[in-house]
Amino acid sequence: MDTITALIAGEKVASGGAPIAIIDPATDTLVAELPEADDATVDRAVLAARRAFDDGSWRFMPVEARQAVLRRCAELIEASADTLADIECTNTGLPLAQIRGRSVLRAADNFRFFADYIGQATGRLYEQHPDYLTMVRREPVGVAALISPWNSPIALGSMKVASAIAFGNSCVLKPSEQAPLGISKLVELLGEAGLPEGVVNLVNGRGATTGDRLIRHPEVDLVSFTGGTPTGRVIMRTAGELLKPAEVELGGKSANIIFDDADFEAALDGALLGIFTNNGQQCLAGSRILVQRGIADRFIEAFVERARRIKVGDPRDPATVIGPMVSQRHMQHVLSFVPGSAAEGELLTGGCRAGDTGAYVEPTLVRAADRDARLFQEEIFGPFAALMVFDTDDEAYALANHSRFGLVSYVWSQSLQRIMTAQERIQAGTVWCNTPMMRELRAPFGGWKESGIGGDGGLECEAFYTRAKTVSIPRRPLQLRKLGA
């Protein structure tokens, strides 16, 4: 497989850095050895982005031309959808059908969405002052460092690139060292879209080395990060020290509240989709299922029965729902949450590795012993749901909010009154009512509490990737005081 250490101003660059093994988690075989982008390579990438920004060929391009390039990016992604999905599947173990049907299309949508958005962006004008007009313009910030995670590399990495460049910035993307192949291929494709050289660059390597070097680079002006909460703290600390604007989209442990008046089948379907899609490796997974006592036994029985029938296996098999975890190490992490005693919880189904080869985990449901159980509080990031039963609505909200995370939440009820109360009481950046994940790109998507600061969305990305400039102009000749006259 073709491996890319870095893509700088359209050129594939080899680097002398340490080799990183890229493993297919379905078969435990080595797919590629990727030399890490060393300091000199990071410098080169950032300087290419700087030149592309400073020469103005992208940010001053007429908006219609910029929109056309972004739309061409989307077309190129769609034209290579099969190849991209194939590479992403090999590198991540995510089911091919889910990548092809969701992530790759989402990547193309990301470019189209921002192409449309910039065509309608406006400034502000203040004309209340009798002598002056004051306009507020928004300009791109400069060179963006974009750091993305491994759990959905193409969808998440493309979101960062599309939003950064749409507003006229240039960027250097560093994907996760564990899953760089699909997104590297995607960035390579963008080279044919008509982007001026150096607008989009890529460096591969480990976070603590390549990523850290990138963020600290003096020519990097802003930082966008998606990943785990512990890393987010490090990024915010570094960005804060250097006074660089940063947004961090972090982990979750999202509550899925099922009231006893819910449409039972829909809530069951939603709960299964919420925890088992994307191999359970989703920031927005509904990983804490809260079910009301009146329907709890029936719900648990039905969930367990359905979970046991879910096909775990070869991610290329169209019937597969859950492929392998991204690595053996991550599989061990997921399995480490299986309760060893009743003090932690009761295993209702799953809890074991599936097969001897590949990092497969059975779909798992555990009834947590109490709300402070580790498995009810920490992000497991796999096909592993923790469940608790509640009696009253207030108890459901208390359980849902008893978390340091606040990314999303799900609520199921046929009472409009209950839904309206629930969406107010739940502490999370997004509340999905009677539906599994529904991504509205126009609306903000970002976490509360330790799930992040800032996030995606039309206005939100515009606010982050541009900065305001206030320009005041006299309406008529001014009579200025003549100092020293």
Active site residues: 249, 283
309: three-class secondary structure by DSSP: helix
Question: Which pairing describes strands 143-147 and 222-226: parallel, antiparallel, or unpaired?
Answer: parallel
Q: How far is the CB of 262 from ligand NDP (least distance, A)?
A: 26
Using the minimum distance from each CB to ligand NDP, give the nearer residue, 170 or 226: 226
In the complex, the residues that contact ligand NDP under the rule CB under 6 A are 147-151, 156, 174-178, 206-208, 211-212, 215, 226-228, 231, 234-235, 249-252, 283, 379, 381, 407, 447, 451-452
Tokens coding 83: 């190849």
Residue 344 or 450 with smaller CB distance to ligand NDP: 450
Report, in angstroms and rounded to the nearest whole number, the Rg of the chain calculated over CA atoms: 24
How near is the Cβ of 207 to ligand NDP at its closest, in Å? 2
Instruction: State the nearest-atom distance from the C-beta of 424 to ligand NDP, in Å.
Output: 22
**Nearest distance, CB of residue 180 and ligand NDP, angstroms:** 8
- Beta carbons within 10 angstroms of residue 336's beta carbon: 12
- Smallest separation (angstroms) from ligand NDP to the CB of 88: 14
Cross-strand partners of 202: 7, 173
- Structure token pair of residue 193: 């879209």
Rounded Cα–Cα distance for residues 165 and 142 (Å): 10
Return d(Cα 390, Cα 393) in angstroms, integer.
8
Q: Which residue is nearest to ligand NDP (CB)?
A: 207
Contacts of 383 (CB under 8 A, 6+ apart): 275, 276, 279, 280, 312, 322, 334, 350, 361, 362, 363, 364
Phi, psi of 198, rounded to the nearest 5 degrees: 90, -5
> C-beta of 449: minimal distance to ligand NDP in Å?
12
Q: Which helix (H) or strand (E) holds 22?
A: strand 19-24
What does the alpha-carbon distance between residue 425 and residue 414 come to, in Å, rounded to a whole number? 17
- Complex with ligand NDP: residue 213 or 367, whichever CB lies closer: 213
The pair phi, psi for residue 437, each rounded to 5°, is -50, 130
Distance CA 201, CA 152 (A): 19
Nearer of residues 225 and 259 to ligand NDP, judged by Cβ: 225
For the chain, how many helices (H) and strands (E)?
Answer: 16, 22
Q: Which is nearer to ligand NDP, 158 or 178 (CB)?
A: 178
Nearer to ligand NDP, 219 or 261 (CB): 219
